[in-house]
Amino acid sequence: MDTELEALLDAIGPRLRALRHDRGLTLKELAATTGLSLSTLSRLESGKRSPTLDLLIPLARAHRIALDQLVAAPATGDPRVHLTPLHKGHGSVLVPLTQYPGRVQVFKQVLQPREPKLVTHHGYEWLYVLAGELRLLLGEREFTLRPGEVSPSEEQ
C-alpha cells in the first residue's frame, strides 16, 4: 500500500471520533443508529480496524454527510473551465463557451471597430451585448445595441 493511501486510511478513525464527539454522541448511541457493534466502532475510531464501505456507509448516513467527507477524498483536479480563445482577423477574438458539435453553439466574441460586411449563413444568431456598442444591420434595418441589449428577432 502506498504511503498516501495509508495516510488517508489512518486519518479516518480520528475523523470518525471527532465527528461523533462534535455531535455529542456516545459509542452506544451511534451503534444503535448504525447497526454496527460497539467494538467495531471503537476499533474503527482507534485505527485497529480497517474502514470498509460496508462500515463507512452507515456512518455517513448516521452523521448525514457525504461519504467523501469521512474519507477526505483527494481533490479531483482543477474545477475551472479553461477556454481557448481563437484570434480572428481585424483584432477580433472568439471564445467558444460550449463544445457540442451539431447542437447550439455559444461563443463570447470581442469585436474591434471595422467596416460593415454582409455575412450570411444558415441557422440563427442571437446576440447579447456585454460592453460597448454594436451596430447591427439586418437587411435594410439598422440597430445599435448597447450593454444588456439583445439582438432583435426576425419578426421585428
**Residue 140 domain boundaries:** 86-145
Whether 65 and 107 share a structural domain: no
Whether 63 and 91 share a structural domain: no
3-39 pLDDT, tens digit each: 888 888 889 999 999 999 988 999 999 999 999 999 9
Q: By CB neighbour count within 10 A (0-12 exposed, 13-18 middle, 19+ buried), where does 143 fall?
A: middle
- Rounded Cα–Cα distance for residues 150 and 145 (Å): 7
Whether 110 and 134 share a structural domain: yes
In a domain, 66, yes or no: yes
Whether 62 and 100 share a structural domain: no
Whether 41 and 98 share a structural domain: no
Q: How many domains does the chain fold into?
A: 2
50-98 pLDDT, tens digit each: 999 999 999 999 988 888 888 876 666 676 777 888 888 778 898 888 8
The pLDDT score that the predictor gives to residue 155 is: 47
In a domain, 156, yes or no: no
In a domain, 131, yes or no: yes
The predicted model gives 125-143 an average pLDDT of 86
Residue 60: give its domain's CATH number.
Answer: 1.10.260.40
Whether 67 and 8 share a structural domain: yes
In a domain, 133, yes or no: yes
Closest listed residue to residue 73, CA positions, set 156, 4, 154, 8? 8
pTM over 0.85: no
In a domain, 78, yes or no: no
